[in-house]
Structure 1
Amino acid sequence: MITAVDHVQLAAPPGSEDRLRAYYVDVLGMTELPKPPVLAARGGCWFRAGAVQLHLGIEAAFRPAHKAHPGLRVTGIEQYAARLRAHGAHVEWDDNLPGHRRFYSEDPVGNRLEFLEPETAV
């Protein structure tokens, strides 16, 4: 029986690890996780924020995911969007999900990311 999502893996081009670290750690506020040595030899990076893990794996024929994406729940979505914009990231608000505030952005290699926060009852 499935009990949880362990992680989401996104692809990245060879040699992009420093850009990924700068974005996922400095911009999004995640922590880099050490990869097991056998997997570290393949390149890429793993990141965590609370129980959420994103793994960025190196793919030689990389193409960014423009439709498929992780949905990342945040608190203080307005401030979080301002944080991304302050670091030069594009923020595109979308009001099509009832009961939620959400926006889309992209990581430095072009993968789509969704950030959302449930609206509080008034």
Structure 2
Amino acid sequence: MSLLAIDHVQLAMPPGGEDAARRFYGDVLGLPETPKPEHLAKRGGCWFEDGVLKIHLGVEADFRPARKAHPGLLVSDLPALKARLSDGGFTLKDDEPLEGYDRIYVDDPFGNRIELLEPLSGGEGA
């Protein structure tokens, strides 16, 4: 037995948050929505997948955002993504430098923390 990889990341959202999730993960971050299997679709939520990058949003009746635990997503052209996030009304948060990366944090519409990292050329992250 051996672990191979992470298949997907599941984040929670409150009931009725699908449209806000689509705007953030689909429109702003650019992840295509993938239909949920029929037997899971009745639970609500939505899935966003692009190749091996898979983020699933599930409905939680007693929702509380993940303020510390978070996915770290590798991106290209972080400055352009920052502009799209700012234009969309999302607040960007800087943190201490991480060698080899330019990075920021942003909360999704539900308050879940998301880290966006771009490897710097020639650094450890490259």
- What TM-score bracket applies, with the shorter chain setting the length? over 0.9
AA partner of residue 92 (structure 2): V
Alignment match, 1:12: 13
- Give, as a single letter, the amino acid of the residue that structure 1 aligns with 2:51: G
Percent sequence identity over aligned pairs: 53
Aligned to 2:51: 50
Aligned partner of 1:66 in structure 2 is: 67
- TM-score for the superposition, normalised by structure 1: 0.95
Amino acid in structure 2 at the alignment position of 1:108 = P
CA distance in 2, matches of 1:68, 1:119: 24
Could you say which residue in structure 2 is the equivalent of 1:114? 115
| AA matched with 1:88 | G
Instruction: Please give the per-residue CA displacement for 1:36-58, whole angstroms capped at 9, x wherever unaligned.
Output: 11100100000013320000000
Counterparts of 2:21 and 2:7 in 1: how far apart (Å)?
Answer: 20
Preserved CA contact (<8 Å) 1:94 1:101: no
Q: Show the counterpart of 2:77.
A: 76
Q: Shift in Å at residue 21 of structure 1?
A: 0.8
Q: Structure 2: 5+ residue runs without aligned partners?
A: none
Q: Provide runs of 4+ in structure 1 moved above 4 Å.
A: none
Provide the residue aligned with 1:24 in structure 2. Answer: 25
Q: Which amino acid aligns with 1:101?
A: D
Aligned length: 122
Relative to the length of structure 2, the TM-score reads 0.92
